[in-house]
Structure 1
Amino acid sequence: MSVPLLAGLSIVPDHPDPRQCAELADRIRQWGRELGFAELRIGPARVPEADRRHLDAWLERGSHGDMQWMADRAALRHDPDALVPGVQRIISVRMDYFPPRTRRPAAQLADPEGAYVSRYALGRDYHKLLRKRLTELGRRIEAEAPHGYRAFTDSAPVLEKALAQQAGLGWIGKHTNLLARGTGSWFFLGELFTDLPLPLDPGPAEDHCGSCRACLDVCPTQAFRGPHDLDARRCISYLTIELKGSIPEDLRPLIGNRIYGCDDCQLVCPWNRFAEVAAEPDFIARHGLDSASLVELFGWDEASFLEHTTGMAIRRIGHEQWLRNLAVALGNGPATDAAREALAARAGHPSALVREHVAWARARLDERAAGRLAEPPAIPVKALTRAPVDPAARPASPPASKDGTAGEPEDPTTGS
């Protein structure tokens, strides 16, 4: 049985014509650029055995914490065909997300009265945007070559970083984020599963982390057991987003002013010196959340929280967790009158979770005011500088490589 393809051509799934498949693949890349994807690669519909073993060992150690859904659906993560029967190729895409025109991350982290929100969450919820664009990509392909497809972006049991690495989109860094040479890691991933036998792009991508361990050493909670081994139970992103209950007391002081996620391992990564700001306007920071104060955000009632986070990823944690996180951050900050008054106003909150963290924060500020607790530690601002700059401030072309050719950046992990 043949499937119509491009201008009356046909493709026989068992015996595909390489020229026709290559023509379609080129069109797919063109559509990807038109839809705002910074890069698109076509990879095999399989997860390497090493990645399957790594996931199983990670789950066995309990590193997923309370994210039981990761263990429950591990079999589907192992096998893309079990998730989408008949899948032959996985189209992996990336979209840059670092928002333009925002306060520098290091400056916000260094402000003990400021609230730090992970850069990916400052704009529109990426799940909605990427899924919509991927679905449109699937429809464009379908108009030329009818096929079965499903779009995913961090919303299904898909080992997307392993699949992206297989497709040559980048390599998994020691901080467990995907890194792309000449691009860094400030991007989202998405996948389009298809039953078309498209030609594969060269892969997997080579690892370029070398001996660098900056991301492992900078982690505020020391959540890394070693390279590629993140204990989610100590990760600030997990503690402020995925954990629904009480944050362990020994970890609260280490969270600092980070109220939703953490970017330190990316901010310190040498490869992010090559990162780009997002071209997508939906990722522009909303409601001044890139430079907001802790007291201001702690004052939001539930209606204000819902209003200000409409269409944003932040909304998923709910108002109760929002207040919990802010209470911890206030407890880690200076004992100002504004902070103490804000906490006192929430002391009788209906939520036991909020009351617990407010009480902890008030006790911390009392100790700090009495001189029994040191001031918050200084953030290593100089180290946390690997953030993108606006295109106007960047050179017209990439830096020259070691052999003098333009367009390929030198390996920043070598110290050259």
Structure 2
Amino acid sequence: MQPGKLEAQLKTKAAEIGFAACGIARADAAPKTAERLRQWLAEGRHGSMIWMEERAHHRERPAGLWPEVRSVISLGMSYAPATDPLALANAGEIGRISVYAQGGDYHDVIKRRLKELARWLVGAAPGADVKVFVDTAPVMEKPLAEAAGLGWQGKHTNLVSREHGSWLFLGAIYTTLELAPDAAAPSTCGSCDACQTACPTNAFPAPYRLDARRCISYLTIEHKGPIPHEFREGIGNRIYGCDDCLAVCPWNKFAASARANLAFAPRAELTAPALADLLALDDAGFREVFAGSPIKRIGRDRMVRNCLIAAGNSGSAALLGPVRALLDDPDDAVRDAAAWAIARLPAG
């Protein structure tokens, strides 16, 4: 096969399958990743995400996870929103869900497409071995995507693409093939600090550094138990994740929602859910509402805890009844959040 022909065919096939971006990096193309990861962990900025520590040796470099890997195929699938993610910032009785979680579970969608592309690659290059990863494995998707030319890690540490802005789900295919790598993407953040200044909880101690313990996405999704009081007001009406640092990035003006994969189209009931309805959910109701959504993994108790924080920030006396009903909830964090919310709400 002519040099570069397989790589070109691979990218054409990736686009046919639904990937908006595809690039190739050598398996050893992000040498500073291990050093940055070790420093981040040593500073405790991963919070309670213990799996980051336990599998750090796998995460530091691709060969740490699979010694035979020679190339990494980095892929991105767009979920660019059609509406402003910040539009409901002042809608106190509405819960805000991060754009990525308003549609189908990206893990399922992307893994199917990755497997399809991997099967094609093995067919095109007999003898090649491959492994596919999307989010749940100890893979540093963002540095690898940067090395593969998909974009660069912005000051908020998320990937930014010239074409797709901040709205890319990332996946990776590790392969034993020696593929021609793409040029790494240069950073073009310049002096812009919009993402840092937009953060309601000051989760960025410095450019390109994130303290997960202060991040609303971490607090509402990964953090178990009561949310520290110092962050509760800053959470506002966000009940699952946070898009603020992404939404304000100037590069998003180039991210057309028409390029977004239809599998991630938002479900109507998740675009502007009423807090009163969510506060009334029991376990069965939670599973029914969030079936097929990445939200389902946090469980009913954590979601209701988040909704109580949002209710406490709402200033709405209409939410007093639903909040009071949770003062005797079996879950400690839910009871704690209910008491906090009642202390903040007007008597009505």
TM interval, short-chain normalised = over 0.9
Partner in structure 2 of residue 218 of structure 1: 198
Question: Hey, what does 1:180 align to over in structure 2?
Answer: 161
2:295 aligned residue: 314
Structure 1 position 98 matched with structure 2 position 80: yes
Does structure 1 residue 194 correspond to structure 2 residue 175? yes
Q: Percent identity?
A: 45
> Quick one: distance in 1 between partners of 2:245 and 2:224?
23
Q: 1:155 and 2:155 equivalent?
A: no
CA contact (8 A) 2:94 2:275 kept: yes
1:143-292 equivalences in 2 (<5 Å): 143-146=123-126, 147-202=128-183, 204-277=184-257, 278-292=259-273
Superposition deviation, residue 40 in structure 1: 0.5
Higher deviation after alignment, 129-138 or 293-302: 293-302
Moved segments of 4+, more than 6 Å:
none
Secondary structure at 1:49's aligned position in 2?
A: coil
* Cα drift, residue 287 of structure 1: 4.3
Counterpart in 1 of 2:51? 69
TM-fit CA distance, 1:369: 4.3
More off after superposition, 267-276 vs 105-114: 105-114
Asked if 2 retains the 8 angstrom alpha-carbon contact of 1:89 and 1:196, the reply is: yes
Please tell me the residue identity of whatever aligns with 1:144.
A
How far apart, CA to CA, are the structure 1 residues paired with 2:92 and 2:188? 35
Deviation readout 1:224-282 (Å, 9 max, x if unpaired): 10101111000000000000111001111110000000000011111111112153222
Q: Deviations over 1:341-374 (max 9, x none)?
A: 1011112111122111111111111xx449xxxx
Q: Are residues 1:297 and 2:286 paired?
A: no
Residues 47 and 78, structure 1, Cα contact 8 Å, conserved in 2? no
Equivalent in the alignment of 1:35: 17
SS at 1:27 equivalent: helix
CA distance in structure 1 between the aligned counterparts of 2:316 and 2:112, rounded to whole angstroms? 45
Over the residues paired in the alignment, what is the CA RMSD in angstroms? 1.4
**Following the alignment from structure 2 to structure 1, what is the Cα–Cα distance between the partners of residues 28 and 62?**
6
Give the secondary-structure state (helix, strand or coil) at the position aligned to 1:42: strand
* Alpha-carbon distance, 1:47 to partner: 5.0
Distance in 2 between residues matched to 1:259 and 1:163, nearest whole Å: 30
| Partner AA of 2:180 in structure 1 | P
Residues 1:340 and 2:320 aligned together? yes
- 1:250 aligned counterpart, secondary structure: helix
**Aligned equivalents of 1:174 and 1:79: distance in 2?**
22
| Alpha carbons 2:93, 2:316 under 8 Å: kept | no
**What residue in structure 1 maps to residue 68 of structure 2?**
86
CA contact (8 A) 1:332 1:364 kept: yes
Instruction: Judge conservation of contact 1:131–1:152 (CA < 8 Å) in 2.
Output: yes
Aligned-partner residue type, residue 31 of structure 2: E
Cα displacement (A) at 1:99 = 4.1
CA separation in 2, counterparts of 1:225 and 1:271?
22
Aligned residues: 346
Taking a change above 3 Å as real, the CA distance of residues 346 and 192 of structure 1, as seen in their structure-2 partners, is same
Larger Cα-atom Rg: 1
More helix by share: 2
**How has the CA–CA distance of structure 1 residues 48 and 143 changed in structure 2, closer, same or farther, with 3 Å as cutoff?**
closer
1:47 and 1:341 map into 2 onto residues whose CA distance is 56
Take 2:11 and 2:196, find their aligned partners in 1: how far apart are those partners?
35
State the Cα distance separating 1:85 from its structure 2 match: 2.4
The alignment status of 1:120 with 2:100, answered yes or no, reads yes
Q: Which runs of 5+ in 2 are unaligned?
A: none
Which deviations, in whole Å up to 9, do the C-alpha atoms of 1:189-212 show, x marking residues without a partner? 11000111111112x111100000
